[in-house]
A and B are shown apart, each in its own frame.
Chain A
Amino acid sequence: MLYKVHYTLLLPLFAWIFIQSAPNINAQNQGRVVSFPEIDSLLHNSYDTLYVINFWATWCKPCVEELPIFEEINEIYANQPVKVLLISLDFIQDKEKVLLPFIKKKNIQSEIVLLKAENPNEWIDKVDMEWSGALPATLLINNQKKIRKFFEKQFKHEELQDIVTQLLKSEL
């Protein structure tokens, strides 16, 4: 009950945040190198946006196979509070010669950042306790709606879309 009252009082604030909509980290700068604290603060954001965060790498075959699924989500839900973020775990030294040409060749529209992944043991659990560290891995998160779903697997076609559609419908 207390919970409900609390929530109602905050509704105008939620509405305001919703109107603000979630910002891009930096859409102009595909493949930008980030460190984990930036990802961590994104994981704790307060926007009413469903973040679809995929951990991948250009050399990871199942990751590359499922990329079009994320691109589709990015396109289909462009006008809804959905944000696709592709976090690459390519080697930092491969940014110019591997990652950037890959983004260009595949013409990837979803935002891509390159995670400077020092000591993964320190941050893998912060993404999700269930993550063993294997790629690909995907986290769906909307803190405001208390949505958090983690998958350590390759998605089949439409499977992810069904999940996103379901989560967008769900109210709490």
Chain B
Amino acid sequence: MKKLWLFSFLLSCLTCAYIYAADGLKVGDIASDFSLKNVDGSMISLKDYSSSKGIILIFTCNHCPFSKAYEDRIIQINKMYAEKGFPVIAINPNDEISVPEDSYDNMKIRAKEKGFVFPYIHDATQQIAKTYGATRTPHVYLLKNNSGVFSIAYIGAIDDNHSDAENVKEKYLANAIESLMQNKSANPDFTKAIGCSIKWKK
């Protein structure tokens, strides 16, 4: 009986490990394209960015305090790097039934309040968050344009200090972009951060 228990436990561990490994895109993978609605009503796709060197795709939302803490820094990063070929696309994957504050209409309000000059698109079906393997907000995917095909160059945090922008020591995202601009790989190319879990549809 004990052996059976141990066996089933090991089996479930293996299954979990498999699912975990197969979950989402990894650094080096081709970035899946999408066509999602921006707050201005237009549709946004990666293919619209064929002349960019890359894209800073950030899963974020209205309600999450970590996302809010990073809004000004995201605006700043776009200001700094859009003209160098790395514009921001912000993408909200949250279920609006779980979090009404993250509805499409509230995204429009938030984008206006904060003066977003970059797209803020709505992943209404949550399919893109699932495909990319995003789990939290904010969650960054830095994409690199290889002659029209975007690949994932960096996944993770914007920097190492969510609560205090003044005391950031490691600017992970900015460093990754700088590396790409010098035709180098991001190092590190994967970091973790605390964030709000993505609110999946029930």
Tally of B interface residues using CB under 8 Å? 27
- Whether A91 contacts B156 in the complex (CB less than 8 A), given A133-B136, A134-B197, A152-B135, comes out as no
Q: Tell yes or no: B85 within 8 A of A by CB.
A: no
Q: Tell yes or no: B109 within 8 A of A by CB.
A: no
Least CB separation from B134: chain A residue: A132
Q: In chain B between 81 and 138, which residues have their CB closer than 8 angstroms to a CB of chain A?
A: 98-99, 135-136
Q: Tell yes or no: A124 within 8 A of B by CB.
A: yes
Fill in one digit per residue for A119-142: 1 if any B CB lies within 8 Å of its CB, else 0: 111101100001111111000000
Contacts of A55 in B (CB 8 A): 194
Q: Tell yes or no: A168 within 8 A of B by CB.
A: no
Contact status A132-B192, CB under 8 Å: yes
Fill in one digit per residue for B59-71: 1 if any A CB lies within 8 Å of its CB, else 0: 0000011000100
Contacts of B156 in A (CB 8 A): 121
- Whether A132 contacts B135 in the complex (CB less than 8 A), given A60-B196, A89-B194, comes out as yes
Q: In chain B between 132 and 187, which residues have their CB closer than 8 angstroms to a CB of chain A?
A: 135-136, 156-157, 160-163, 169-170, 172
Q: Tell yes or no: B20 within 8 A of A by CB.
A: yes
Contacts of B160 in A (CB 8 A): 118-122
Least CB separation from A57: chain B residue: B65
Contact status B195-A135, CB under 8 Å: yes
Q: Tell yes or no: A92 within 8 A of B by CB.
A: yes
Range class of the A interface residue count: 20 to 34
CA distance A93 to B136 in the complex (A): 22
B153 CB → nearest A CB, Å: 17
Q: Which of B65, B135, B169 contacts A119 (CB 8 A)?
A: B169
Contact status B161-A121, CB under 8 Å: no
Fill in one digit per residue for A30-66: 1 if any B CB lies within 8 Å of its CB, else 0: 0000000000000000000000000101011110000
Contact status B135-A117, CB under 8 Å: no
CA distance A152 to B163 in the complex (A): 22
Contact status B20-A133, CB under 8 Å: no
Q: Which of A93, A125, A133, A154 contacts B194 (CB 8 A)?
A: A133
Contacts of A130 in B (CB 8 A): 20
Least CB separation from A118: chain B residue: B161
- Whether A121 contacts B197 in the complex (CB less than 8 A), given A133-B136, A134-B135, comes out as no
Residue numbers of A with Cβ under 8 A of B are 55, 57, 59-62, 89, 91-93, 117-122, 124-125, 130-136, 152-154
Residue numbers of B with Cβ under 8 A of A are 20, 64-65, 69, 98-99, 135-136, 156-157, 160-163, 169-170, 172, 188, 191-199
Q: What 3 A-B pairs have minimum CB-CB distances, sorted nearest first?
A: A134-B136, A134-B197, A119-B160
Q: List 12 A-B contacts (CB under 8 A).
A: A55-B194, A57-B65, A59-B65, A62-B197, A117-B162, A120-B157, A121-B157, A121-B170, A132-B135, A133-B194, A134-B197, A135-B136
